[in-house]
Amino acid sequence: MGPVEARILKKILPTEEEEARLRDVVRELQERLSERIAARGLDAKPILVGSVAKGVHLHEPEIDMFVAFPPDLPRERLETEGLAMGDILERPVRMYAEHPYTRGWYKGFEVEIVPCYRITDASQRLSAVDRTPLHVDYVLGHLQDDQATEVRLLKAFAGGIGVYGAEAKIHGFSGYLCELLVLKYGSFRGVLEAAKSWHPGTKVEFETIAGRAFNEPFVVVDPVDGNRNVASAVSAERLATFVHAAREYLAKPSDRFFFPRPLKPRSVAQLKATLRRRETHLVVVSIPAPKLTEDVSYPQVRKAHKAILELVHRRGFVVMNAWSGIEGDEVLLLFEFEVFRLPRVELHDGPPVWVRNAEDFLRKWRRSKRRVAGPYIRGERWVVEVTREAVDAAALLKKEVRTLSLGRDLDRAAKRGLRIRVDGDAVRNPFAGALTAFYDTRFPWER
């Protein structure tokens, strides 16, 4: 372990006082859940899972408590009783994934209480979360005492470079994935050395080999379920970022990989100066953010982003940079155009002269009000010059963006308040943080 890692551990390891307080809260949570289970006459057991259960947590960890029910309990009853367990939390919020669970607070710690079925083998699972206690058993059964600190280093590193978290907002490395990588390669630096040669298609296996083919960029076969890829959430961009960061860190270790400097938002004047200097065009589409969990909202945000990109590219405009996300109460879709305006006239290709439907093409365009010249033959095909329906990207979006499928909830939100802002009008204080990050292409550790 190098001097940088030694310094980082002093910052990320919980203190003895923090550990003692955490143990007390976990014990109290388990006792209260056991009392509630007994009072309701249930055959169930509270189980601590997640990083706290494995002893690989950082400061102020989230506490993950599962309540395991027998497999013969009807699914509806599992959900009802599972939500009832969550009432012990402060400010409880009902969350919805494959089945509902509760997120809230308990004596200063964020806590999730999740119902699951009690199984002993992944083949018995009835819901996606049923494997989680098996993950805890596997890690605890294989992690060496000195490897807990290695896992913590890897998690802090992944967080510092912006790739930690499997949720839809991040598409990065989960805690369990970090734990398995340390088990596979022995240490934090061992993982980084291995990562130097990773590429799309890399597959990591343990004693359980893959039970099926996976097509994600990075594959780490779950040792408790050969049909699951633990790295399925990792996007190609997050994988590439991790590989580059590993190479950079090993060449020149620095605290900045773990604790990057925060990006200070530029002023409106500075951002407008950047826009003028680049001589590109900026379009910001904003939509009121639906009140949903990030795992529900972000797939819709990405769908909307992709739909708009496909529309403008289909019409001949060129986007050089794009970004999507949620800032405060708004969904923001940012587009920087390399080609923003197009000529009034465009060439529309038709079929080869000898194709049967060529006459249909001629008939349609000879009477079209959009026809400027033609149809005439170029090579073997009919072509016609027509007026373009939208000569700038903003006009196209204002006309057609509401016809796109943006996602169920975003479609409804767009009807209430979709706004399209262009160039200087798009540069405003509420968007300053997003626009600063949009124009600043440095990696977090380079700031």
Looking at the DSSP bridge assignments, the partners of residue 381 are 352, 378
CB environment 216-245: b (16+ within 10 A), e (fewer): bbbbbbbbbbbebbbbbbbeeebbebbbeb
Output the furthest CA–CA distance in the chain (Å, rounded). 84
Q: DSSP H helical segments within 161-293, as ranges? A: 175-185, 188-195, 236-251, 268-278
Give the architecture (CATH level 2) of 268-341+391-446.
2-Layer Sandwich (3.30)
| b/e map 57-84, b = 16+ CB within 10 Å | bbeebebbbbbbbeeebeeeebbebbbb
Residues facing 384 on adjacent strands: 348
**In the block, residue with structure tokens 């972000």:** 298
Q: Which of 114, 106, 102 is nearest to 25 (CA)?
A: 106
Q: Indicate the fold that domain 13-128 takes in CATH.
A: Beta Polymerase; domain 2 (3.30.460)
Q: What is the DSSP letter of 2?
A: -
| Predicted TM-score (pTM) of this structure | 0.91
Q: What are phi and psi of 382, to 5 degrees?
A: -75, 140
Q: What is the CATH number that goes with domain 147-257?
A: 1.10.1410.30
- C-alpha span between 295 and 98 (Å, rounded): 11
Q: Can you read off the two tokens belonging to residue 437?
A: 């990050």
Place of tokens 């991790």: 242
Locate the domains of the chain by residue range. Answer: 13-128, 147-257, 268-341+391-446, 345-387
What is the full per-residue pLDDT of the chain (447 aa) written as tens digits?
A: 789 999 999 999 999 999 999 999 999 999 999 999 999 999 999 999 999 999 999 998 999 999 999 999 999 999 999 999 999 999 998 887 677 899 999 999 999 999 999 998 888 888 889 999 999 999 999 999 899 999 999 999 999 999 999 998 999 999 999 999 999 999 999 999 999 999 999 999 999 888 899 999 999 999 999 999 999 999 999 999 999 999 999 999 999 999 999 999 999 999 999 999 999 999 999 999 998 888 889 999 999 999 999 999 999 999 999 999 999 899 999 999 999 999 999 999 999 999 988 999 999 999 999 999 999 999 999 999 999 988 999 999 999 998 999 998 999 999 888 999 999 999 999 999 999 999 999 999 999
